[in-house]
Amino acid sequence: MNLTASDIKNLLTDVSANLSTVIKGKEDKIELVLLALIAGGHVLIEDIPGVGKTTLARALAKTIDGRFHRIQFTPDLLPTDITGINIFIKED
**Domain residue spans in the chain?**
5-83
Amino acid at 91: E
Question: For 16-42, how does the pLDDT look when each residue is reduced to its tens digit (9 = 90+)?
Answer: 999 999 999 889 999 999 999 989 988
**30 class by beta-carbon count within 10 Å (0-12 exposed, 13-18 middle, 19+ buried):** buried
Which pLDDT value is given to residue 92? 65
pLDDT on residue 58:
94
- Taking phi first (over 0 means left), then psi (-120 to 50 degrees means alpha), and beta for anything else, what does residue 4 get? beta
Q: How high is the pLDDT of residue 14?
A: 93
Enumerate residues 6+ apart whose C-beta is below 8 A from 46: 53
Q: What's the rounded mean pLDDT across residues 4-17?
A: 91
**39-52, pLDDT tens digit by residue?**
998 888 888 999 99
